[in-house]
C-alpha cells in the first residue's frame, strides 16, 4: 500500500517536473539579416523614440560606471539584493546586440521575458510591466532600436550566486509571480485615465520602484504603490498612504513628472530625477497628463485636496517659527545657519526654487533616508528644478549635526513621532554616498 502511494507520489513528481520543463522551454527564434534602416518610416521611428523614452530603456541599457558607455550598448550595473546584474546590448550590432533579432523576437522578450535564443531573462529587466505593451508600441520600438548606431561591445557576466545563476530558476519565478498579457482598458474610466494606466502600469513601470517587493524580488500584489527602498532612497507611496501634508493633485503630479519640480512638494531628486529630465520631458504632453490624471485617482486626490489650504497655512506658520525672537534652541540655531537662508518661506505659499521642508516628503517618510541623501549629496542643477542647485553638506556637517537638524525639523515641521537612531542612520547613508563616482549625475 505504502509502496503504491510512494510510486504515485514519485510519478506525480516526475510528471510535474516534465510539465514544468515543458512550461519553461522556449525554442530559439531564427536569426534574420539586420533590416535596412530604410525599411522603417520616419514616423514609425519617431513613435518608437517616444516608446523608448517612456520605458527609460537608455537609463538601464547605458553603462554609467567605468567612465560611462555608449547609449543602449548595455553593461549597466544593477545592484540587487542577490548580486550585481549587467544589462544587455540592445543596439543593432549583429554579434553583441540585437541586430539579428526579428520583430517577433523583440515582442517575445518584452511580453514574456524570453530572449531570442529561448533563455529566460531576469526580472531586473521589468518585463513584468512591459508585457502590457501593445503590438503597435513594440513594433515602433523595434523600428527605433534597429535604426540606432550599432555598438560592438560585450557586457560583463552577472554576479549571481548559484543556484540563482541558473536560468531555469527564472521560469519558476515566472510561474509564481508573473502574469503576462497586454493592458486591458477599464471601460468604467475615460480615455485619458486608460492611457495613463497603460503607461504607468506598463512601459513606464512606476511600480518597479514605488511598490515594495517580497523576498524573491517580486512586487507585492496587495501593496501596490505603498512605497519602497530603491538604490538607498525611499520611493514614497503613490497611493493615499503618501504622507506629505498637501495632496499630490493632478497638477502637482504633472509639474513634477514633466519638469522635475512640483510647486508645493519640491524637486525630484536621486533615482527619480532622470524620469522627468531625461525621459518624460521628451514625450508628448498628453502622455504626461495621462499619467498624472491616473495617479491623482490612485491617491484619491479629489477627496483629500479640500484639506490642502489648511495644511499649506500650517506649513507657512511652521516655517516662520525659526525667525521669531532670540533662538534658545541650539538645534534651531544649527538649522538656521545651515539651511534656513535658502528654505525660509512665508504665506501664502512657498517659492518654487525654495522647497518648503514642512511640505516635502523628506520629513514625512517613516525613515530620514531621503533627507540625509539630500543633505549629503546636495542636488545638482540638472536634478529637481532645472538650473537650481543645493550644495552638499557632506563635509560641513557631522553625522551628529545631521541627526540634530533632522530631529529638529521632524519635531517642528510635522505631527509625526520622532525618528530613532538618527546618528547611526546618518552614518549609514554617508557610507553609500562614498561609493558614488564623482562625475555621476545621480
Ligand atoms: C530597470 C532596468 C531596465 C530597463 C528600464 C530596461 N531594461 Fe532591458 N534589460 C535589463 C536587464 C538587467 C537585462 C538583462 C536581463 C538578463 O540578463 O536576463 C535586460 C535585457 C533586455 C533585453 C534582452 C536582450 C538579450 O540580448 O537577451 C531586451 C530586448 C531589452 N532588455 C529591451 C529593453 C527595452 C526595449 C527597454 C525600454 C522599453 C528596456 N529594455 C528597459 C534592464 C532594463
Ligand atoms: C528608478 C526608480 C523610480 C522610478 C522608475 C519612478 N520613481 Fe518616482 N520616485 C523615486 C524616488 C527614489 C523618489 C524620491 C525622490 C525625492 O525624494 O526627491 C520618487 C519620487 C516620486 C514622487 C514624489 C513623491 C513624494 O511624496 O514626494 C512621485 C509623485 C513619483 N515619484 C511618481 C512616479 C511616477 C508616476 C513614476 C512613473 C512614471 C515614477 N515615479 C517612476 C523612484 C522612482
Ligand atoms: C544655498 C541654498 C540652500 C541651502 C543652504 C540648503 N538648501 Fe536645501 N535646497 C535648496 C534648493 C535650491 C533646493 C531645490 C533644488 C532643486 O530643485 O533642484 C533644495 C532642496 C532641498 C530638499 C528637497 C529634496 C527633495 O528631493 O525633495 C530638502 C529636503 C532640503 N533641501 C533640505 C535642506 C537642509 C536640511 C539644509 C540644511 C542642512 C538645506 N537644504 C540647505 C537650497 C538650499
Q: How many domains does the chain have?
A: 3
Which segment of 53-57, 89-93, 147-151, 214-218 scores lowest on mean pLDDT? 214-218
Residue 12 confidence (pLDDT): 56
In a domain, 324, yes or no: yes
Indicate whether 141 and 101 sit together in one domain.
yes
CB of 342 sitting under 6 A from ligand 3: yes
Distance CA 53, CA 49 (A): 6
Indicate whether 265 and 315 sit together in one domain.
no
Of ligand 3's listed atoms, the one at least distance from the Cα of 335 is: 37
Written as nine digits, the cell of 360 is 516635502
Residue 437 confidence (pLDDT): 44
In a domain, 393, yes or no: yes
Indicate whether 166 and 218 sit together in one domain.
no
Indicate whether 26 and 133 sit together in one domain.
yes
CB of 403 sitting under 6 A from ligand 3: no
Ligand nearest to the CA of 234: 2
Written as nine digits, the cell of 152 is 560592438
Residue 439 confidence (pLDDT): 41
Q: What is the 3-state secondary structure (H, E, C) of 231-277?
A: CCEEECCCCCCCCCCCCCCHHHHHHHHHHCEECCCEECCHHHCHHHH
Find cell 525660509 and name the residue: 344
Ligand-binding site membership of 129 (annotated): no
Give the structural domain span for 203: 191-303
Element (H, E) at 123: none
Distance CA 324, CA 305 (A): 30
- pLDDT per residue as tens digits for the range 6-56: 444 444 555 677 778 878 889 999 999 999 999 999 999 999 999 999 999
Of ligand 3's listed atoms, the one at least distance from the Cα of 384 is: 18
Of ligand 1's listed atoms, the one at least distance from the Cα of 106 is: 29
- Quick count: other Cβ atoms within 10 Å of Cβ 259? 19
Distance CA 36, CA 147 (A): 8
Indicate whether 169 and 228 sit together in one domain.
no
Where does a domain end: 279, 303, 327? 303
Q: Look at residues 252, 133, 154 and name the one whose alpha carbon lies nearest to residue 204.
A: 133
138: CB partners within 8 A, 6+ apart: 51, 103, 106, 107, 110, 111
**For residue 436, pLDDT beyond 70:** no
Cα end-to-end distance, the chain, whole Å: 66
- DSSP-derived letter for residue 7 is H
Assign residue 93 the CATH number of its domain.
1.10.760
Ligand-binding site membership of 209 (annotated): yes
Indicate which residue's Cα is closest to atom 21 of ligand 3.
355
- pLDDT per residue as tens digits for the range 104-116: 999 999 999 999 9
In a domain, 132, yes or no: yes
Distance CA 238, CA 334 (A): 33
Distance CA 97, CA 144 (A): 14
Of ligand 3's listed atoms, the one at least distance from the Cα of 361 is: 27
User: How far is ligand 2, taken at its centre, from the CA of residue 262, in Å?
Assistant: 12
Indicate which residue's Cα is closest to atom 9 of ligand 1.
125
Indicate which residue's Cα is closest to atom 32 of ligand 1.
90
Distance CA 278, CA 82 (A): 28
**For residue 128, pLDDT beyond 90:** yes
Indicate whether 208 and 88 sit together in one domain.
no
Indicate whether 298 and 328 sit together in one domain.
no
Using 50, 70 and 90 to split pLDDT, how confident is the model at 326? low
Q: Look at residues 144, 142, 137 and name the one whose alpha carbon lies nearest to residue 42.
A: 144
Where does a domain end: 303, 318, 340? 303
Amino acid at each position: 500500500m505504502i509502496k503504491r502511494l510512494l510510486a504515485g507520489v514519485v510519478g506525480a513528481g516526475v510528471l510535474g517536473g516534465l510539465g514544468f520543463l515543458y512550461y519553461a522551454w522556449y525554442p530559439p527564434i531564427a536569426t534574420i539579416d539586420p533590416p535596412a534602416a530604410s525599411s522603417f518610416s520616419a514616423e514609425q521611428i519617431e513613435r518608437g523614440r517616444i516608446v523608448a523614452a517612456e520605458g527609460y530603456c537608455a537609463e538601464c541599457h547605458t553603462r554609467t560606471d567605468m567612465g560611462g558607455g555608449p547609449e543602449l550598448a548595455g553593461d549597466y550595473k544593477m545592484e540587487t539584493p542577490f548580486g550585481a546584474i549587467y544589462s544587455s546590448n540592445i543596439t543593432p550590432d549583429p554579434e553583441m546586440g540585437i541586430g539579428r533579432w526579428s520583430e517577433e523576437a523583440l515582442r517575445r522578450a518584452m511580453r514574456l521575458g524570453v530572449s531570442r535564443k529561448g533563455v529566460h531573462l531576469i526580472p531586473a529587466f521589468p518585463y513584468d510591466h512591459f508585457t502590457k505593451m501593445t503590438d503597435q508600441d513594440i513594433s515602433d520600438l523595434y523600428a527605433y532600436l534597429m535604426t540606432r548606431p550599432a555598438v560592438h561591445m560585450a557586457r560583463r557576466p552577472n554576479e549571481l550566486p548559484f543556484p540563482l545563476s541558473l536560468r531555469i530558476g527564472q521560469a519558476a519565478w515566472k510561474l509564481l509571480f508573473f502574469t503576462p498579457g497586454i493592458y486591458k482598458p477599464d471601460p468604467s474610466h475615460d480615455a485619458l485615465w486608460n492611457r495613463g494606466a497603460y503607461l504607468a502600469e506598463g512601459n513606464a513601470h512606476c511600480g518597479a520602484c514605488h511598490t515594495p517587493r517580497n523576498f524573491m524580488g517580486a512586487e507585492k500584489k496587495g501593496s501596490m504603490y505603498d512605497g519602497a527602498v530603491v538604490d538607498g532612497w525611499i520611493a514614497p507611496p503613490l497611493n493615499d498612504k503618501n504622507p506629505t501634508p498637501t495632496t499630490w493633485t493632478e497638477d502637482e503630479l504633472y509639474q513634477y513628472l514633466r519638469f522635475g519640480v512640483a510647486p508645493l512638494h519640491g524637486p525630484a531628486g536621486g533615482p527619480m530625477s532622470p524620469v522627468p529630465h531625461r525621459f518624460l520631458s521628451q514625450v508628448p504632453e498628453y502622455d504626461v497628463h495621462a499619467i498624472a490624471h491616473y495617479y491623482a485617482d490612485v491617491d484619491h486626490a479629489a477627496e483629500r485636496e479640500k484639506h490642502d489650504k489648511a495644511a499649506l497655512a500650517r506649513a507657512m506658520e511652521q516655517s516662520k517659527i525659526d525667525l521669531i525672537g532670540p533662538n534658545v534652541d541650539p538645534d534651531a540655531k544649527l538649522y538656521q545657519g545651515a539651511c534656513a537662508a535658502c528654505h525660509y518661506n512665508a504665506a501664502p505659499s512657498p517659492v518654487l526654487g525654495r522647497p518648503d521642508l514642512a511640505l516635502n516628503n523628506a520629513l514625512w517618510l517613516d525613515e530620514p533616508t531621503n533627507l540625509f541623501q539630500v543633505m549629503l549629496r546636495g542636488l545638482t542643477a540638472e536634478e529637481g528644478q532645472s538650473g537650481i542647485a543645493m550644495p552638499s553638506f557632506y563635509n560641513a556637517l557631522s553625522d551628529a549635526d545631521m541627526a540634530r537638524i533632522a530631529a529638529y525639523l521632524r519635531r517642528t515641521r510635522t505631527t509625526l513621532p520622532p525618528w530613532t537612531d538618527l546618528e547611526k542612520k546618518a552614518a549609514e547613508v554617508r557610507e553609500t554616498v562614498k561609493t558614488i563616482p564623482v562625475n555621476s549625475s545621480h
